[in-house]
Amino acid sequence: MSRSPAHPRILIAALLIALASAALWVRARRAGERPLVLSGSIEARDVEVGSLVGGRVLSVRVAEGATVAAGDTLVTLEPDLINLQIDEQAAAIAQARANLARAEKGPRSEQVARARIDADAAETDRKRLEPLLAAGTIGQRDYDASAVRAATTRQTLVELERGTRSEEIDAARAAVAGQEGRLAYLERQRAETVVRAPVAGVIESMELRPGDLVPANQPVALLLEPDQLWVRVFVPEPKLGLVRIGMAARVTVDTFARREFAGSVVEIRHEAEYTPRNIQTLDQRAEQVFGVKIAIDPAPELRPGMAALVRLVS
């Protein structure tokens, strides 16, 4: 008895249906994994450049929009007053160093010799008055004064022969160090009268003119770093799981619509934001977003303020 051909046909049909279902599932999955496209605007890191000291502006070396390199002079302040203080401090250091040298060398030989002569003379006078005191020719007060002078001159000689005490030398060294530290502080202040660019960039704002008064610790210019470009975008909470630190990104701007600029995710904020700010219903949870920062590889064509589209690539 021959087998019916219907059974193989059923198996083939079932296999075709399974393959078709798998293809549809893969297509749906790929459709669900389409890259996120988000909008934002290009920003650049800025640096507020200023001086630790105040003063009157002597010269302005750059204008708004100028490109500067790290170390370029932007503004100079009048250094006259600080120069006078530095000159005075240099004289104080010279005096302190002279005192230290004198303490280290100790008393001069001439001082010691003179002190020995004074001590010998005072002792001779004391001895000469001893028999006069015994004979009653002079009073006790006169003899006591002579004895005190002999003892004092003898002690002075001993001190000079021993030389300067180590504590006095240490104090003299400390005085020199203190004066030198004061000079270094003043020289650092003088260096602050020349305001230099800490990094390469573009002068975004510069409103000073010669003669203007600048307070201490206040910015005098705003410097943009064109090599430090980034875009802040906001990812809806349901899509946040698709974003990770280090994830590649492609950035496009209207000016170069057919060109993509490379970037990567460098920051994901830990706190969410809402639009509107206060959620009133459960349906509005879909409007909860997280800020994501996209760093853009250096590109001279890009400028801060450009509208940008960011495509995150998994």
57-66, 145-154, 181-190: least confident range: 145-154
Integer CA distances (angstroms), 67 to 61, 71, 74, 172, 222, in order: 12, 12, 11, 51, 12
Domain assignments of the chain as residue spans, ordered by start: 36-44+224-313, 47-78+193-223, 83-190
Torsion angle of alpha carbons 74, 80, 82, 88, nearest 10°?
150
- 106 or 309: which carries more pLDDT confidence? 309
What pLDDT, in 10s, does the model give residues 213-253? 999 999 999 998 877 888 999 888 888 888 999 999 999 99
C-alpha span between 159 and 69 (Å, rounded): 64
Tens-place pLDDT, residues 123-173: 888 888 888 888 888 888 888 888 899 889 888 887 777 766 788 888 999
Tell me which fold the domain 36-44+224-313 belongs to.
Elongation Factor Tu (Ef-tu); domain 3 (2.40.30)
Cα Dmax for the chain = 173
Q: What is the pTM of this model?
A: 0.60
Mean pLDDT of the chain: 83
Task: Enter the CATH code of domain 47-78+193-223.
Answer: 2.40.50.100
